[in-house]
Amino acid sequence: MPITSNFIDYVKIYFKSGKGGDGVIHFRREKYVPKGGPDGGDGGRGGHIILRGNDQLWTLLHLKYKKHIKAENGKPGAGKNMTGARGKDIILEVPLGTVAKYADTGEVILEITKHGEEKILLPGGSGGKGNTHFKSATNQTPRIATPGEPGKEAWIILELKILADVGLVGFPNAGKSTLLSRLTAAKPKIADYPFTTLTPKVGIVHYRDFKSFVMADIPGIIEGAAEGKGLGIRFLRHIERNAVLLFLIPADTDDYDKEYRILLSELEKYNPELLNKRRVIAISKSDLLDDELKEEIRRNVNFDVPWLFISSVTGEGLEQLKDLLWKEINIAREMEQIPEQEIRKKLDDQDDIE
């Protein structure tokens, strides 16, 4: 049976903003004023296509079946210098972390990162000028008006990149979903087979003194993910917005350093800038290790970032992990001036996250 999901993080839509209304040629005609001057009004602006951030949305599912979206055209002007009505704007609610880019070139148009933030995706055409604008000393009865400007049109990709403080990185079965379920109220599907996590899951980690941070569990990496193997870039783009990357390497791995290097290599192939993010390594499932094996691992690993042993089963190292992550998040914010994530306050009901 195929696996389905309500988590949609990519849509391609044809957008067209409204055409501006035409300016008109009109002359004042009233009783006892047989030869009044020009009074043709301007056309109304065409409707904009606007994106608005909504922190209650976690997916682009509501746009999945909208293949063509067009704004209303502006109305033509009228006599008595009356401007035509503006075309109605189209306002689309999108989740925070939505990026819009041209489908043909990949050029980024805009990003939505704040609740209530509105940005014009495609502006409507300006209205044309009525003949009243063309009156002059030498031309008292201009028979000139300009048409409204055409609207903009383009195939545009809307792409969601999860906003979270910490992104979990690791091969399938590294224990990411189990860790997320232990540290947060999220309820990811957990089972002992690869790619249990097929869509990003987000949870809020409660820290000391009523502080908290957001953690995202992202589908596991395999070698070649940057080239599209496995789930490929379907998950890689989501870690671009994380302040800190938490690498999970299971205790039963044959070569800890090699696995870490492979994970780093996949990130670098996709986007070298990801290697500039703060990193933490956790050796998961450490309940499988005795003290002697742990000491041997400490002597042999060559990690260049902070690391520790954890177990989501016994709780070993989890408080120390939260301390370390909180420290790294704050360092990242200071270094990169990462804004506070509005999504933190809207994670009360984890059952709504799919």
Looking at the fold, whether 143 and 193 belong to one and the same domain comes out as no
Question: What domain range includes position 318?
Answer: 166-352
The count of structural domains within the chain is: 2
pLDDT the model gives residue 243: 86
pLDDT tens digits along 84-138: 999 999 999 998 889 999 999 989 999 998 999 999 999 999 999 999 999 988 8
pLDDT the model gives residue 337: 55
Which CATH number does the domain housing residue 231 bear?
3.40.50.300
pTM of the model: 0.64
Looking at the fold, whether 84 and 216 belong to one and the same domain comes out as no
Looking at the fold, whether 38 and 65 belong to one and the same domain comes out as yes
Q: What φ, ψ does residue 209 adopt, rounded to 5°?
A: 55, 40
Token pair 């704040």 in the structure block, residue: 114
Q: Which contiguous run of DSSP H or E holds residue 299? A: helix 291-300
Contact (Cβ atoms closer than 8 angstroms) between residue 174 and residue 249: yes
Which of 137, 160, 183 terminates a domain? The answer is 160
Looking at the fold, whether 144 and 264 belong to one and the same domain comes out as no
298-303-307 Cα angle (round to 5)? 70
Looking at the fold, whether 135 and 231 belong to one and the same domain comes out as no
pLDDT by residue, tens only, the chain of 354 residues: 233 355 577 899 999 999 999 999 999 887 776 777 899 999 999 999 999 999 888 788 889 889 999 999 999 999 999 999 999 999 999 988 899 999 999 899 999 989 999 999 999 999 999 999 999 888 988 999 999 999 999 999 998 877 778 988 888 777 888 888 888 765 544 333 333 334 567 778 888 887 888 888 876 554 443 344 434 455 566 677 788 999 999 999 989 999 999 889 888 887 888 888 899 999 999 999 999 999 999 999 999 999 999 999 999 999 999 999 999 998 887 776 544 444 444 444 444 444
Which CATH number does the domain housing residue 9 bear?
2.70.210.12
Looking at the fold, whether 84 and 30 belong to one and the same domain comes out as yes
Looking at the fold, whether 97 and 182 belong to one and the same domain comes out as no
Looking at the fold, whether 222 and 341 belong to one and the same domain comes out as yes
Looking at the fold, whether 150 and 26 belong to one and the same domain comes out as yes
Looking at the fold, whether 111 and 259 belong to one and the same domain comes out as no
**Cα four-point dihedral sign 224, 225, 228, 230:** positive
Which of 138, 160, 182 terminates a domain? The answer is 160
| 105: Cα separation from own chain's centroid | 19
Q: How far apart are CA 241 and CA 243, in angstroms?
A: 6
pLDDT the model gives residue 352: 47
Looking at the fold, whether 200 and 339 belong to one and the same domain comes out as yes
Looking at the fold, whether 44 and 118 belong to one and the same domain comes out as yes
Which of 160, 189, 223 terminates a domain? The answer is 160
Q: How far apart are CA 208 and CA 323, in angstroms?
A: 9
Sequence-distant (6+) residues with CB within 8 A of 87 are 18, 19, 21, 44, 45, 46, 47, 71, 72, 73, 74, 75, 124
Phi-psi region of 127 (alpha: psi -120 to 50; beta: other; left: phi over 0): beta
